[in-house]
Amino acid sequence: MLIVSELCEGGFTLINMIEYCKNQIPQHVVLSIVGDIARGVQWMHSRGIAHRDLKVENILLKDHRFKLADFGSAEYEKNFLIWDHLRSMETARRHLLVNRNYECFEKNTTLMYRPPEMIDRYLKQDIDDKADIWMLGCIVFTLCFGKHPFMESQQLAILNGQFSMPDEGYSYIEEGARNLIRVLLTTNPAQRPNIDQVVQVIENLKAKVDKEQVLTTAQKELKMLPMLQQASPTKSEPEEEEAKEEDDWATWGKDGGTGGHAEDWGDTWNQKHDPSEPATSKPAEESPPSKESPSLTQTERQEVARALGKERIQFNIMKSQDFQRGGAKKGGGCFSLFG
């Protein structure tokens, strides 16, 4: 048998993901991964092929999808053409009988993933596609709990189906996923479900978990909404804030601002902050209102504000440099003319 498969670059396997997540993979992610694997197995079984070496090390990641790899132990029905004439998966399953080549199993498969019929040849059970169902159960267990159900590779434990699912620290694993593991790891291959049934159960579990996750997120957001409303101050529209800021810039010169005269302000600041000269106070002189300058419209005031803003920023930089060269040496403190 010759199998041609796509190239998965990068070498990222499912075991790498388990180690990266420190054995704590969310349940909806587990079901998504298992769904990809089960659909790949479903495609193989529909064509009369059994993988027989499914394990986390043989699952690759490419384009956010998990792919099956390592088909060295795969087997198929010798008369492959009959699959074109079979009408159902159940009929196909009954015709899928893989040769009992135990030497090949011992050489090309991993002991702790082997089903009971692959370990004990005296059971005289056909090693068919139901072996993949058992191995898929081992993968689901490993994804859910971060360890293999038969870590010590004890053949007796595998033959008797002795494993336990931890509760502490894994309460988020629902009973539906636990029941799926129990069914997949059934010692009698005839009592295990076929891959079509497994895919359907996984899809149902995934839909249920996704729905519960959406409801949980919505409930958390609703609980946080009153707190967010109290913590967030009421803000006006950005356009109104910008217009108000520009309006303040336009009227700034009337309240004693520079009005764009940087040199006059520089002289005034030097006179006020130079410790070598005594401070003198002069009475404020009122300037008569100009009769030639009519009141500016809002648009004109904004244009003036933009012009003042450019000079204001330039002057602020200029005075900061002067202060660093002269004022700081004279013992002056930090200042902000336009703060």
* Separation between Cα atoms, residue 115 and residue 75, nearest integer Å: 16
Q: Could you tell me if 60 and 93 are in contact, meaning their C-beta atoms sit under 8 angstroms apart?
A: no
Residue with tokens 């940087």: 262
Q: Under 8 Å CB-to-CB from 29, ≥6 apart: which residues?
A: none
Task: Give pairs for 260-266: CB < 8 Å, separation 24+.
Answer: 260/307, 260/308, 260/311, 262/311, 262/314, 262/315, 262/318, 265/315, 265/337, 266/315, 266/318, 266/319, 266/322
Q: Could you tell me if 57 and 85 are in contact, meaning their C-beta atoms sit under 8 angstroms apart?
A: no
- Name the active-site residue from 53, 128, 129, 132: 53
Query: Would you state the structure tokens that stand for residue 318, as one six-digit string?
Result: 């200029």
Q: Could you tell me if 14 and 66 are in contact, meaning their C-beta atoms sit under 8 angstroms apart?
A: yes
196 classed as catalytic: no
* Separation between Cα atoms, residue 184 and residue 301, nearest integer Å: 78
Query: Would you state the structure tokens that stand for residue 300, as one six-digit string?
Result: 């004109």
- Phi first, then psi, for residue 279 (nearest 5°) are -75, 130
* Separation between Cα atoms, residue 118 and residue 156, nearest integer Å: 13
The one-letter amino acid at 88: S
Q: Under 8 Å CB-to-CB from 13, ≥6 apart: which residues?
A: 56, 57, 58, 59, 60, 61
List the catalytic residues. 53
